[in-house]
A and B are shown apart, each in its own frame.
Chain A
Amino acid sequence: MARQRLIRPAAPLPAGDLLVRALFQTYASGDDFDREALVADAAYNFELFGYFGLSLWHVSDVWPLERILTDKTRRARRVALFTAGALQAQGLDLVPSGKAPHYDASHGPVYDSTYANVQITSGSAEELVERFLAAAYTVEDNPHHQQEPS
């Protein structure tokens, strides 16, 4: 059963705004993303909240990149940086979900609820991931990476 999802009131992101997604390992193919894992992540978001989504962190005055790297993604060795414009150019919506600076890249109708059971029935996890992987991004090492000894 989908839980409620907070959708923050926010203006559409300017094309030049940056969004961060922490990366996991580099895969055997040399890819930065694992397609199947992304599809599973997007589908799980649907199970939780009723829409397909991939999580991102939005860089802003309150949450500059440095703060995101030292807080939200401190356990990641590398991060991918997208511009809002690059994601939007692939037909993706950027949904201000949960607490700032969290956003979802989603594909489907835009909604303007402020707090609701969101339900986007169009699109699919696969389509979202295809569009997401088609977006241009850059990869940066996280200089603030903190990993505990295993």
Chain B
Amino acid sequence: MISIDIDADLNLVDDEDRNVARLPERRRFQPGDVAVAGRPGFWSWVLIDEVAEGSVYFHQISGREAATHGDLTASA
């Protein structure tokens, strides 16, 4: 089972077409980080674009792209 870093409704996008979710407690993210966002049945690798005001903004990427950002097992 996938370990999800960011609980997110991936149907939700902001005006820039980015997904957005509450910033998880006890996790630190910064722009450029790779994470897994979503919920069981609908999740994706994502690239963090912005962290602001208790929310994290990101866009969905492929596993191949995620791998270019580092060790996926460490992120997930």
Q: What residues make up the interface of A, taking CB atoms closer than 8 Å to B?
A: 1, 3-6, 21-26, 37, 41, 44-45, 48, 54-57, 72-73, 75-78, 98-99, 102, 148-150
User: Do B9 and A98 touch across chains, with their CB atoms under 8 A apart?
Assistant: no
Task: Point out the residues of chain B lying under 8 angstroms from A37, CB to CB.
Answer: 9, 39
User: Do A75 and B62 touch across chains, with their CB atoms under 8 A apart?
Assistant: no
User: Do A24 and B20 touch across chains, with their CB atoms under 8 A apart?
Assistant: no
User: Do B22 and A55 touch across chains, with their CB atoms under 8 A apart?
Assistant: no
User: Do B11 and A56 touch across chains, with their CB atoms under 8 A apart?
Assistant: yes
Docked complex Cα distance between A34 and B43 (Å) = 16
B interface residues, how many (CB within 8 angstroms)? 31
8 contacts between A and B (CB under 8 A): A24-B41, A45-B12, A73-B11, A77-B41, A98-B14, A98-B17, A102-B17, A149-B63
Q: A55-B9, A150-B1, A150-B76 are in contact. Are A23 and B42 (CB under 8 A)?
A: yes
Q: A75-B44, A148-B45 are in contact. Are A55 and B63 (CB under 8 A)?
A: no
User: Do A76 and B41 touch across chains, with their CB atoms under 8 A apart?
Assistant: yes
Q: A48-B20, A148-B62, A148-B63 are in contact. Are A102 and B42 (CB under 8 A)?
A: no
User: Do B13 and A55 touch across chains, with their CB atoms under 8 A apart?
Assistant: yes
Taking the nearest CB of chain A, how far is it from the CB of B34, in angstroms?
12
Q: Which of B2-55 contact A (CB under 8 A)?
A: 2-3, 9-17, 20-22, 36, 38-45, 53, 55
User: Do B15 and A99 touch across chains, with their CB atoms under 8 A apart?
Assistant: yes
Contact partner of A25 (CB less than 8 A), chosen from B22, B39, B60, is B39
User: Do A44 and B11 touch across chains, with their CB atoms under 8 A apart?
Assistant: no
User: Do B53 and A1 touch across chains, with their CB atoms under 8 A apart?
Assistant: yes
Taking the nearest CB of chain A, how far is it from the CB of B72, in angstroms?
9
Task: Point out the residues of chain A lying under 8 angstroms from B44, CB to CB.
Answer: 75, 148
